[in-house]
Structure 1
Amino acid sequence: MAERGAHLNTTAAESSRASIFELLAQDSLMTAVKPALLHALKVLADSNPARFGVFWRNLDEIYAVLDLLLQHHYLSRTSASFSENFYGLKRVGPDGTRPAHRGLGRRQHLRSLLLLALLPYLRIKLEKVLARQRDEDDFSIQMPKSLGQKMYRAFLAAYPFVCMAWDGWSFCHQLLYVFGKTRTHSPLLWLARVKLSYLTARDIQNLDLKQVDRTLSSSQSLGERVQSLLSAVIGGMAVSLSTSLSLGVFFLQFLEWWYSSENQSTIKSLTSLPTPPPPLHLEDQEAASTHGSVCPLCRKVRTNDTALATSGFVFCYRCIYTYVKANHRCPRTGYPSELQHLIKIYSPDG
């Protein structure tokens, strides 16, 4: 509970309006968690691709589910997201009279969940789909013919401007909040119909009493006990995460900075993988003589030779492009791979 009382100073007593610096800090807190989880899953996937590769391939879904559960717990118990509660803040609805320990109203709760957990997930998936489509367009020489293809090309061209407009709106919102012209510093809070303010001494006392009452309550039905047990487990995980973050926020932000470089990430993804085993010798001598020109996927003579940088194996371009796009790994070694790891091989004869 120490982080909740950190802001009970004279400033908080005089006004419930949160500082813009604390608001920006809590916004960046959750963005420091995902790079750390990303690095941990990457190490697991590199150590054992067959067993842990599925976690790497479904990282976005795993993180979205964990984030949804975490944010639902804190919104229900403290009327705040995890990062907002960490900085001693709470979400206040339009009326401003609902106690923090009772959670948000149903509509504000659902809007907050959608904007906190689901909207970032959908944006990440959309950006990945657009990035893959741009890669496909780079290798394609066909002009869009149908109306759907033309509209899709128009959306690709307009998406960067949409992102720029959103970032500009967010920046203007922050400026207006600094000058006291708006109640929220973020468009997401404005869309959720809530504002942020400091937790009061009464809020902290009610939150502590609620935890004690939930622990001492014994006259419960079986269903209520199961629900309380699940809530206690999620709450324990949340409190553990909160405690660990209070000790390691700097370390998490350092990891975010360290692994933010795409160049460094690519180099580490290539150099951290073990040396792949050599291909098995074929029993048939005739097949062995042509083995150097056979694609390991289609078992035919390779066309448009393409090497996969993560393993060193050479395939037909069409075969390895289709496989890596669908599975995100090497078909021979299982190493995590992406389309940018495909390398065209130019023969000195051709």
Structure 2
Amino acid sequence: MLFQVGGQGTRPTFFEMAAAQQLPSSLRAALTYSLGVLALRRPFLHRVLDYEDEFFALLMLVLETHSLRTTDASFSESLYGLRRRAVMIRIKKENSHSGAGDKILHSGLEKHQKVLSVVFLVVLPYFKSKLHTIYNKEREATLQASLWGNSDERFDDTDYSGGGDNSFVSTSGSDREASTRTSLKKRVQKIVGACYPWLHAGHEGLAFAYQLLYLLDATGFYSLGLHALGIHVCRATGQELMDTSSRISTIRSRERERLRGPPWLKTVQGALLSCSYAVLDYAQTGLIAAVFFFKMMEWWYQSAEERMSAPTVYPPPPPPPPPKVAREGIPLPPDRTICPLCSQKRANPSVVAVSGFVYCYACVFKYVSQYKRCPVTLMPATVDQIRRLFHDV
């Protein structure tokens, strides 16, 4: 059930359907990333990124329409060798001994099914993306208002002009229309912010239910849209794959025969058709290459960022050289545990911070208090620079 590898039967596996469904989102991410990189050097491409939903919906409209017209499959389904077939249930009534039975037959897509397929593949995802954008903006505005307060109300409640109500009387009609439009926009955003989570949860729940039933062979429909249209997705036979090219050539020859006008106009129209055909023929290969290029660049930059963000462990620096002993200073004893001042074993060892040499606390405190310097190096020091050592080395 889970691993129908090898093309056995006409029913696609769950993994084939999932890959075909996730391809448009991967394609959009690849195109957005590529445009974002190019926009760093060509700033005019930022306008394309500002209308990302519209441009991607227009691109998918062209691709899905062309794919459904020529192969009876969506753009992503055609890449996996899948085809859409209309479901027809034929009821056969046999004699009384055999009883009655239902038989499911498949046929090609009708024109209205292709149009509705484009609606489910392009129009509905576009509106979903716009609703998601509006919901994110409303959520950010609500979070900002909860943290910082409503800036509009904060500034509107205070009258800085000192003119009382006179400042509100001189309101033009355009300002009123703008305020009405703004209030209507905010109201729509609030409605979307309240309703979108429930709509999104219901859509995702139905999608999960259909996918689970499809995985368990309880239904032949992978999604609610396919069930509403009465369409099964099947594997294309070898003959169908061979007939696709001849079918496309037949459609294009008919389109060329429909050209009307003088010879020069037909030549221009034929050249435009040839260019559009070439773009559509290589669109699948180019877009799939864009997806792989995006994944490769994502892996490359992610690994580079990980290398840059990884903490660098450097070897510890060598200790600084010890300060020189002054000629007029107290000489150091050969035993490091002996105090240079009292020539006895150190008691309560303490260090002078300016030099680093260790003495008895009582000895060095008296010396520094009187002479304001280190006994060995004669460097200026104060009693505040004496540090108690709790572990004598």
Q: Distance in 1 between matches of 2:40 and 2:229?
A: 40
| Residues 212-234 of structure 1: CA deviation (Å, up to 9, x unaligned) | 44566798242497887666544
Map 1:97-176 → 2, pairs under 5 A: 97-99=106-108, 104-137=109-142, 138-139=144-145, 141=150, 153=190, 155-176=192-213
Task: Find the aligned partners of 2:245 and 2:282 in 1 and give their Cα distance.
Answer: 16
Shift of 1:46: 2.2
Aligned match of 1:289: none
Structure having the larger proportion of residues in helix: 1
The 5 Å alignment of 1:65-104 reads: 65-95=58-88, 96-99=105-108, 104=109
Matched, 1:30 2:72: no
Change in 2 beyond 3 A, CA 1:44/1:179: same
For 1:182, the equivalent position in structure 2 comes to 219
The answer on whether the counterparts of 1:18 and 1:196 sit within 8 Å (CA) in structure 2 is yes
Higher relative contact order at CA 8 Å, sep ≥6: structure 1 or structure 2? 1
Please report how far the alpha carbon of residue 237 of structure 1 lies from its aligned counterpart in structure 2 after TM superposition.
2.1
Q: Cα gap change, 1:223/1:202 in structure 2, threshold over 3 Å: closer, same or farther?
A: farther
Give unpaired runs (5+ residues) of structure 2.
Answer: 89-104, 155-182, 306-393
Cα distance in structure 2, aligned partners of 1:27 and 1:155: 26
CA 132–67 in structure 1, closer or farther in 2 if over 3 Å, else same: same
Cα distance in structure 1, aligned partners of 2:212 and 2:229 = 19
Check conservation: 1:35, 1:259, Cα contact below 8 A.
no
Partner AA of 1:40 in structure 2: S
Q: Check conservation: 1:91, 1:195, Cα contact below 8 A.
A: yes
Cα distance, 1:123–1:188 mapped onto 2, change above 3 Å? same
Equivalent position SS for 1:182:
coil
Residue 250 of structure 1, CA deviation: 4.1
**Distance in structure 2 (CA, Å) of the matches to 1:98 and 1:233:** 32
CA distance, structure 2, for counterparts of residue 241 and residue 165 of structure 1: 34
Identify the match of residue 52 of structure 1 among 45, 49, 60: 45
Q: Deviations for 1:22-80, whole angstroms, at most 9, x for unmatched residues?
A: 1111111121111111112212322232x323212122211111110010000010000
1:184 partner amino acid: F
Instruction: Give the whole-Å Cα distance in 1 for the aligned partners of 2:57 and 2:277.
Output: 18
Question: Given the alignment, which residue of 231, 248, 259 partners 1:222?
Answer: 259
Q: Aligned pairs, how many?
A: 245
Q: Tell me how far 1:241 sits from its aligned partner.
A: 2.6
Cα distance in 2 between the residues matched to 1:208 and 1:150: 52
Secondary structure (helix, strand or coil) at the match of 1:125 reads helix
Task: Give structure 1 stretches of 5+ with no counterpart.
Answer: 1-8, 265-350
Amino acid at match of 2:48: F
User: How high is the TM-score relative to the length of structure 2?
Assistant: 0.54
